[in-house]
Amino acid sequence: AQSVTQPDIHITVSEGASLELRCNYSYGATPYLFWYVQSPGQGLQLLLKYFSGDTLVQGIKGFEAEFKRSQSSFNLRKPSVHWSDAAEYFCAVGAPDQTGANNLFFGTGTRLTVIP
Amino acid sequence: GAGVSQSPRYKVAKRGQDVALRCDPISGHVSLFWYQQALGQGPEFLTYFQNEAQLDKSGLPSDRFFAERPEGSVSTLKIQRTQQEDSAVYLCASSLVGGLVSEQYFGPGTRLTVT
């Protein structure tokens, strides 16, 4: 069975500083990997996704993530954080080789606080 | 265009009451998902529809939970005889086609509090 671990419950960074949010997955094959952001009162919004190919994927709002098979990781990065990036971030995995599997498995989330 | 909408946004129910949560997906989206998000947790899959067919209900926690999508558009998640552990945010998502490659668009959720 697949699972996702986000080791950091809460991260605080200064505006303008770089950001890395960690995500580790457990899955027997190459999974589909996603990062979502959830702002208060808002629905989850997809930041980026990885299916195959180039292991460095670019997303919206200046985010990128790198798939590292050897480390079973898919960490999210941003070179310079803006105050508006404060939100909850969720890593999710999908199991493409499971027949009929269309749903996502989410981690527990990392809450990002941005200080001036 | 309009995104996924859910109603009500907030619901307070006394233990033992039945509740019905509504999801209006993006028009034309074939797939519809329900997730449950407990406080401090990530969303957990409940059930999946492709058009009006419920193809996967493996995540429904008990037979008190029932979902339907009779005409392949609007969906209702019903919880009978609510219990305190049902308190959570219920998220609905839709995608244009089936499969994981089709982006899931999420609604704002319904926060259910069972007292």
Q: How far apart are CA B58 and CA B45, in angstroms?
A: 8
> pLDDT tens for residues A40-90?
878 899 999 999 889 999 999 999 999 999 999 999 999 999 999 999 999
Instruction: Indicate the burial class of A60 (C-beta count within 10 angstroms; 0-12, 13-18, 19 or more).
Output: exposed
Per-residue tokens: B33? 């998902």
* Subunit contact A105:B4, Cβ cutoff 8 A: no
Residue B55: what pLDDT?
Answer: 92
Residues of chain B predicted below pLDDT 70: 1
Phi, psi of B50, deg, nearest 5: -120, 115
CB atoms within 10 A of CB A10: 10
DSSP tally for chain B: helices H, then strands E: 0, 11
Q: How far apart are CA B28 and CA B81, in angstroms?
A: 33
Residue B15: what pLDDT?
Answer: 98
The residues facing A75 across adjacent strands are A66
Residue A60: what pLDDT?
Answer: 96
pLDDT at A99 over 70: no
Residue A67: what pLDDT?
Answer: 95
> pLDDT tens for residues A6-15?
999 999 999 9
Residues of chain B positioned with their CB less than 8 A from the CB of A99:
none
pLDDT at A3 over 80: yes
pLDDT at A100 over 70: no
- A102 in B contact zone (CB under 8 Å): yes
Residue A27: what pLDDT?
Answer: 85
Radius of gyration of chain B (CA): 13
pLDDT at A30 over 60: yes
DSSP B97-112: SSSTTSPPEE---EEE
Q: How far apart are CA A24 and CA A22, in angstroms?
A: 7
* Subunit contact A94:B100, Cβ cutoff 8 A: yes
Find the mean pLDDT for residues A22-47: 90
Residue B31: what pLDDT?
Answer: 94
Instruction: Out of A33-37, A92-96, B62-66, pick the least confident.
Output: A92-96
Residues of chain A positioned with their CB less than 8 A from the CB of B56:
100-103
Residue B98: what pLDDT?
Answer: 80
